[in-house]
Structure 1
Amino acid sequence: MAKSVKLSHSDELRESSRQQVFDAIREAGQIARIDIAQVTRISPATVTAITADLIAAGLIEEVSPDISRGAKRGRPRVALKIRGDAHTIAGMKLSHHAITTLITDFEGAELVCHEIPLPGGQLDPDALCEKIVTALDESCAQGGLERQQISGLAIGMAGVMDADRNFVYWSSSLNVRNIDFGSYLARYLSIPVFIDNDANLVAKAELLFGEGDKRSNFVVVTVEHGVGMGIVIDNQIYRGARGCGAEFGHTKVQLEGALCQCGQRGCLEAYVGDYALLREANVTSGVERHKDLASLYAAREAGDIMAQSTLDRAGRMFAMGLANVVNIFDPQMILLAGAQLAFGYLSSDKVVHEMRRSVLQVDGPLPEVRVHGWGNKMWAKGAAAHAIEEISALRIREVSGHAV
């Protein structure tokens, strides 16, 4: 499904104005028309016309004024809000061992959250599509919904991809490279599907629902099976020209170093990802002593020197990577997310100190480093937010008379 078509300049302006109005309503929750005009700097008459179109299309609705909010004398102003029942949306987070699905209404209110197991390792495209369909159908069944009631699905997965084309260059979830995964999913699902890097969607969730709503420039670093990063610059997700602009895990920290799952050597992920830590620990010991990070971490806490060395090196490499992020992007905040953060060794005071010691020293505060603990549900919520944005854009284009 194409996401855009060539529009005339006047058509682009008209569509842009509608999108600005819609976004202002969504961001505010409830807002009067005159306040929309002030926020967007669109004339009150144009705002009135646009909101009439959006109401007619069923995307927004009027709500009774809340006089308890201290309204001034005179007739209370009628507010507008997103119509929650306009669309039902699904967001998915594909991890190495599970698919987490969150179904929401058009305002983002949770309707269903469901998780199914996923076989470890890379799957062929058809097998992964079948798992995605199963996850969606089971989630719909839990909420008493039919799949056809879902207006759009967004999927967050690890890897390098072009979100505009739903094209996956490489992913740890797939056993093939350079695949038009959106076309594969279209064979299984008759609803619009949007694919993006999972770290980008965590950043979107933080921007809309978490710590990022108070900051316009921040970075989210995710550490699970691999290492990812989502970058927010001026309240927008930065993806780069090819959609590959935030591959923190594949920045190089060692010339001709350890083998990464992407096929190259010396990547940060090859020293920090959970598969890399288990590989190093088990190869060093000569036997498969640890099948998961919990075992490795427990060995460290029990005084195992090999486990201590493995995790300490991961911390040093991670600190080096974070210092590079600060030196390049100068973010207001770094948020750390993912299953590995539960063990604490990557967010310890020692790691943060090493990062700060390696950062270019200037007379100004360094970014705060924080850990969030929302789990897979937050990743799925970011995916749902992405789907809401994409479906909103499609429907607004239809209102403008430029249906895709």
Structure 2
Amino acid sequence: MSPDTGFHALEDGEAQIGCGPLIQSYESTPRSLRIQVFDRVRAAGLISRADLAKDLGVSPASVTSVVSELIETGMVHEVATPKREGESNRGRPPVALGVRPEAGYVAGLKLSDHRHAAIITDFAGNTIAEAEIRHGVLQQETEMVIRDVVRLLDDALGQAGLTQTNLSAIGLGLPGVVDSATGQVMWSPLMREQGIALGPTLEELLGRPVRVDNDANLVTLAELWFGAGRARSDFAVVTIEHGVGMGVVINHRLYRGAMGLGLEIGHTKVQLDGALCRCGQRGCLEAYVADYALVREATTALNWGNRGVQSQQILLESLYDHAKAGNQSARAIFKRAGRYLALGLANIVNLFDPALILLSGERMRYDYLYAEEVLAAMRDMTLETNRPAPVVEIRAWGDQVWARGAAALALETATEIALRPEAV
């Protein structure tokens, strides 16, 4: 560990969080047994002490001691389970450990270019309330973004019958380059300004811990906490919406890179001096696969210059309808996007060797992007090892799933805060 991480080793091998803002970066810290036990209980739903010790490779006595602490703090509780067939009915009924839902509440918010979504969950991840607001401004001033966040949060809390003081933490996701350790938005297509300290500003305004992250990381966290990631130690998520994002889980943990800014697959270059990307550079994968890239191609190929100010969504749906109806120009646009997507997926396989790749996002309704020929092209461009290619699954999910990922981010944050050595 580098000396400037902000963490100091304790005698028992745990990590003490130094002075600073409400939220610190946890990705580079040693994970205490307390946090490992809680994470395993959360991921399993219900699990026995014996299975906990086996899964974590530690002694039953160590697990028993930590579990007692977690029960005392109200984070975990015992749940009676039915006896297995053949077991005696005498004696104490078997119990399993589960996260106590009433341990707290968190909020998850997802910002996008046409609507913002929010969700309130308890500590077990159960949905308490949902809300969304729509807007028509592509790039907003920071003040407007903050106003929308407060309004959206108040709407969701009102439906849940809660107030801001009931929240243990708030997770917020948006597209762009985000330093999750500091809460600074370096660049986002939703905001006119760059380098905005959005997390600290919201923390000061709301008085609650706020964690901000790239939205693709949120979908990955949703899978890690509630979906396929519960059974996978290593997997990748590629999101295709208004942009192209990526999240990677390595050894059950979300990987963010040394500075928290990594895995921008949408801005890897697939064509030198190629098409203009909304980030301002040329040749990015996103500039060939994202919805604005498809509409840009259609405007030229299908002579749509006379369609006035029709929304991008309407034009995209029209392009898909043309392709389904057999229009060769429309099909060629999707086919070209599929080839570039196959290239991006092949690069992921060659770099990370994931067992599973999840293609997620609203654009996955367009089956041309994941047709068999796209997956075959991916396999053709990956290194030949005589081993099976990674499984590719489709998740055609909407904004509330992204918000659920933001809730997972808030749960991760609230858990770290609650399980600090000085808090227990």
State TM-score, norm by structure 2: 0.87
- Give matches, 1:345-384, under 5 Å: 345-384=368-407
Aligned position for 1:232: 249
Return closer, same or farther for 1:353/1:52 CA change in 2, 3 Å cut-off: closer
Aligned position for 2:25: none
- Give matches, 1:165-176, under 5 Å: 165-176=182-193
Distance in structure 2 (CA, Å) of the matches to 1:40 and 1:323 = 33
- TM-aligned CA deviation for residue 77 of structure 1: 4.1
- Give matches, 1:28-107, under 5 Å: 28-63=44-79, 65-70=80-85, 72-73=87-88, 74-107=91-124
Give the unaligned 5+ runs of structure 2. 16-30
Return closer, same or farther for 1:369/1:42 CA change in 2, 3 Å cut-off: closer
Return closer, same or farther for 1:62/1:358 CA change in 2, 3 Å cut-off: closer
8 Å Cα contact 2:363/2:396 also seen in 1: no
CA deviations 1:139-166 (Å, max 9, x no partner) are 1112222232222111121111121211
Aligned position for 1:294: 317
CA deviations 1:24-82 (Å, max 9, x no partner) are 3223323344443343344444434433332332222233x323345844433443322
Question: Which of 387, 392, 396 lines up with 2:419 in the alignment?
Answer: 396
8 Å Cα contact 1:125/1:184 also seen in 2: no
8 Å Cα contact 1:118/1:131 also seen in 2: no
Distance in structure 2 (CA, Å) of the matches to 1:204 and 1:25 = 16
Q: How many residues align?
A: 397
| Aligned-partner SS, 2:77 | strand
| Aligned-partner SS, 1:103 | strand
- TM-aligned CA deviation for residue 225 of structure 1: 0.5
- TM-aligned CA deviation for residue 218 of structure 1: 1.6
Return closer, same or farther for 1:71/1:110 CA change in 2, 3 Å cut-off: farther
Distance in structure 1 (CA, Å) of the matches to 2:284 and 2:128 = 40
CA deviations 1:189-228 (Å, max 9, x no partner) are 1111111111112112122322233322221110010000
Distance in structure 2 (CA, Å) of the matches to 1:242 and 1:68 = 49
- TM-aligned CA deviation for residue 325 of structure 1: 1.6
| Aligned-partner SS, 1:76 | coil
Structure 1: which 4+ aligned runs deviate by more than 6 Å? none
Identical-pair percentage: 45
Letter in 2 for 1:401: E
State TM-score, norm by structure 1: 0.91
Give the unaligned 5+ runs of structure 1. none
8 Å Cα contact 2:43/2:230 also seen in 1: no
Aligned position for 1:260: 277
Return closer, same or farther for 1:70/1:191 CA change in 2, 3 Å cut-off: farther
Report whether the alignment pairs 1:126 with 2:143: yes
Distance in structure 2 (CA, Å) of the matches to 1:142 and 1:402 = 30
Report whether the alignment pairs 1:223 with 2:240: yes
| Aligned-partner SS, 1:137 | helix
Aligned position for 2:14: 13
Return closer, same or farther for 1:39/1:259 CA change in 2, 3 Å cut-off: same
Q: CA RMSD in A?
A: 2.3
8 Å Cα contact 1:133/1:188 also seen in 2: no
Distance in structure 2 (CA, Å) of the matches to 1:133 and 1:11 = 41
8 Å Cα contact 2:82/2:94 also seen in 1: no
8 Å Cα contact 2:223/2:230 also seen in 1: yes
Distance in structure 2 (CA, Å) of the matches to 1:95 and 1:328 = 29
8 Å Cα contact 1:129/1:188 also seen in 2: no
- TM-aligned CA deviation for residue 22 of structure 1: 1.8
Distance in structure 1 (CA, Å) of the matches to 2:330 and 2:82 = 62
Aligned position for 1:211: 228
CA deviations 1:104-156 (Å, max 9, x no partner) are 11111111122211334121222111111111111111222223222211112
| Aligned-partner SS, 1:201 | helix
Question: Which of 273, 282, 293 lines up with 1:276 in the alignment?
Answer: 293
Distance in structure 1 (CA, Å) of the matches to 2:126 and 2:62 = 30
